[in-house]
């Protein structure tokens, strides 16, 4: 993702096929996988509206880090599958339906001016408050827990390292590039004791999830089988309609007794 340009990212986001859906479900579970596909659709919508893909600041940071000698580049966010699974598990069935509906039918126009407005602290805090009121569990798993994880990785990167004897001591310089919505949370958690294992745990899939995943697989294979059946039936009609084949039919019929 960091090495892709805007055109490639847009193409990948718009090219949602059965293989991508199956891969997302296999990696993240059924509900989390489908949610990932919906968010990919939202990403494509934003890219089309703005002419730029989300996450440009991270791609630029990756590019600039490559120009600095001996610079180590770390991806410090929590793994996406963990975040998706915890987020979906925290939502009720009704909240999942509402969220999926909202993502499916997202078509509001977005301008660069709207993005600039979101950078204002007051508006950002208002947006966060609305998210907490609408989906408190989603805010906790996608924002608050990642604040904790990002704080942990930044502190790990900035920790003191023992230098070899007689080595030239150079002060460590750490640059953290994070989304604006995480800055206040990182500042708030910086001096706290953090429990990382708690926010990394993922509950096993529920019986309902297993049943729905099985039903989805059966439906997919059923559709594939039906498509093959229809295709073969149509092909058979085409072959039988050929003059050469029709002329041979009387010769291959079973003689009557």
| pLDDT recorded at residue 148 | 96
Start-to-end CA span in the chain (Å): 72
Decide if pLDDT at 253 tops 60: no
Q: What is the pLDDT of residues 45-94, one digit of tens each?
A: 666 666 666 777 888 888 898 898 888 888 999 988 888 888 888 888 78
**Can you read off the two tokens belonging to residue 227?**
């498509």
Q: What is the pLDDT of residues 124-183, one digit of tens each?
A: 566 666 666 777 888 888 889 999 999 999 998 887 666 667 666 666 788 999 988 899
For the segment 26-41, the average pLDDT, to the nearest whole number, is 70
**Can you read off the two tokens belonging to residue 231?**
């295709």
**Can you read off the two tokens belonging to residue 179?**
């989304």
Q: What is the pLDDT of residues 211-239, one digit of tens each?
A: 766 776 677 667 767 666 666 555 555 55
Domain residue spans in the chain? 6-160+170-205, 215-251
Helical residues (DSSP H) of the chain, grouped into ranges:
6-14, 18-28, 30-50, 56-65, 80-90, 93-104, 112-118, 121-134, 136-139, 145-158, 183-189, 196-200, 207-240, 243-252
Rounded CA separation 61/1 (Å): 13
Quote the pTM value. 0.67
Q: How sure is the predictor about 44, in pLDDT bands with cuts at 50, 70 and 90?
A: low
| pLDDT recorded at residue 93 | 77
- Residue 216's SS3 state is helix
For the segment 28-32, the average pLDDT, to the nearest whole number, is 68
State how far the alpha carbon of 71 is from the alpha carbons of 5, 31, 74, 174, in Å: 23, 38, 10, 10
| pLDDT recorded at residue 158 | 83
Decide if pLDDT at 206 tops 90: no
193 or 48, which is more confident?
Answer: 193
107 or 180, which is more confident?
Answer: 180
Show Cβ contacts of residue 3 under 8 Å, excluding neighbours closer than 6 positions. Answer: 59, 62
């Amino acid at each position: 993702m960091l090495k892709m340009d805007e055109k490639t990212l847009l193409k990948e986001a718009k090219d949602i096929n059965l293989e991508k859906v199956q891969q997302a479900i296999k990696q993240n579970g059924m509900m989390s996988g489908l949610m990932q596909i919906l968010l990919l659709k939202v990403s494509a919508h934003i890219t089309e509206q703005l002419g730029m893909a989300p996450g440009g600041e991270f791609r630029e940071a990756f590019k600039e880090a490559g120009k600095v000698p001996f610079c180590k580049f770390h991806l410090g966010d929590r793994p996406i599958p963990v975040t998706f699974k915890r987020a979906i598990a925290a939502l009720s069935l009704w909240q999942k339906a509402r969220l999926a509906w909202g993502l499916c039918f997202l078509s509001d126009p977005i301008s660069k001016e709207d993005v600039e407005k979101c950078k204002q602290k007051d508006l950002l805090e208002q947006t966060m408050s609305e998210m907490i009121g609408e989906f408190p569990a989603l805010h906790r798993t996608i924002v608050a827990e990642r604040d904790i994880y990002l704080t942990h990785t930044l502190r790990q990167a900035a920790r003191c390292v023992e230098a070899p004897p007689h080595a030239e001591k150079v002060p460590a310089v750490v640059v953290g590039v994070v989304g604006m919505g995480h800055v206040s949370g990182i500042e708030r958690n910086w001096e706290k004791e953090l429990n990382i294992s708690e926010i990394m745990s993922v509950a096993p899939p529920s019986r309902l999830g297993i049943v729905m995943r099985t039903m989805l697989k059966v439906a997919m294979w059923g559709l594939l089988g039906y498509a093959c059946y229809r295709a073969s039936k149509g092909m058979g009609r085409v072959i039988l309609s050929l003059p050469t084949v029709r002329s041979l039919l009387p010769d291959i019929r079973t003689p009557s007794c």
